[in-house]
A and B are shown apart, each in its own frame.
Chain A
Amino acid sequence: MSNGGDSEANNVRAIVIGHGDFSAGLVSAVDQICGMAGRLVGLSMMGLTPEDIETAIRAELARTGAHVIFTDLPAGSATLAARRIVKEDASMVLVSGVNLATLLDFIFNTAVSPSEAARSAADRGKASLIVVERS
């Protein structure tokens, strides 16, 4: 699944990949909030071998020029595939455990490098997890 055609590829800042329709849901939520889904490409790894997952991520990184990969679970196949890519290319950055707050921070933070934006976004995502209990 892709959320931007080739003509829009230059706008893409990150790949989002996860289990099931996770990435489609997140990208859709980003679009509903700020209309900037074109800055993300969502991929699903349903039915793919580990090799196919890695190939799909590499293809989208090459097509779009993005340098950041967001994945859902640290233990997921997409995260393992992304780790292989980051190992080979020091310009790539992986953030696992992505949530909506992470993505929103990332797509608006355009004044810094992808790596800095990814770190900031990860911090925002962690801070967005709160527990509210009736006292």
Chain B
Amino acid sequence: MGIHLYRIDDRLIHGQVVVGWGQPLNARFLILVDDLVASSDWEKELYRMAVPPEMDIYFADVDTAIREHARYAADPRPGILIAGDTESMHRLAKGVRAIGSVNLGGIHHRAGRAEKLRYVFLTPVEEQELRALEASGVEVTAQDVPSARAVPLSEVLEGQSK
């Protein structure tokens, strides 16, 4: 079992993750990798309360997630790992060298980002991080919900699918 989905999503824990992906994957644990959340008891409590009772949630900053990744991956239950931004996932992937694929689930509009898909907006730096991630052997696709088509990174960056 272990981690069935590595997802970049700036909303972190929300309906698409807990229900949209959590139900079909039968996810029983979530790993929220975010330096800010991991450093705040209140933020951790906020996200803990958003998770249904049948799911465990673990909080980690990126360095901790790298150290603990083997333990997460060996968990007999199916799980989902979520990072809030491309930089965190890129650091994690470089640190563990064991991530086969990454899902772009939601990176929403803000200043400096350009629209690539309805739910993926990227800065030039974020584009570079994703290219570097894929160049390191990680398959990167965009797919907000399981029933949607997984859009390859090359197609995402062309912006033709938006």
Interface size of B in residues (CB-CB distance below 8 Å)? 21
Residue of A nearest to B10 (CB): A49
A63 at interface, CB cutoff 8 A:
no
A residues near B19, Cβ cutoff 8 Å: 73, 75
Return A70 CB to nearest CB of chain B, in Å. Answer: 15
Interchain CA distance A50-B108 in the complex, whole Å: 9
A residues near B17, Cβ cutoff 8 Å: 75
A25 at interface, CB cutoff 8 A:
no
Interface size of A in residues (CB-CB distance below 8 Å)? 18
Return A36 CB to nearest CB of chain B, in Å. Answer: 28
Q: Is the CB of A49 within 8 A of B49?
A: no
Interchain CA distance A92-B151 in the complex, whole Å: 41
A44 at interface, CB cutoff 8 A:
no
Residue of B nearest to A49 (CB): B108
Q: Is the CB of B50 within 8 A of A75?
A: yes
- Please list the 3 inter-chain residue pairs (A to B) with the smallest Cβ-Cβ separation, ordered nearest first: A75-B18, A49-B108, A75-B50
Q: Enumerate 14 A-B pairs (CB-CB under 8 Å) in ascending A order.
A: A47-B109, A47-B118, A49-B10, A49-B108, A49-B110, A50-B11, A75-B13, A75-B50, A79-B50, A80-B14, A80-B47, A83-B49, A84-B46, A87-B42
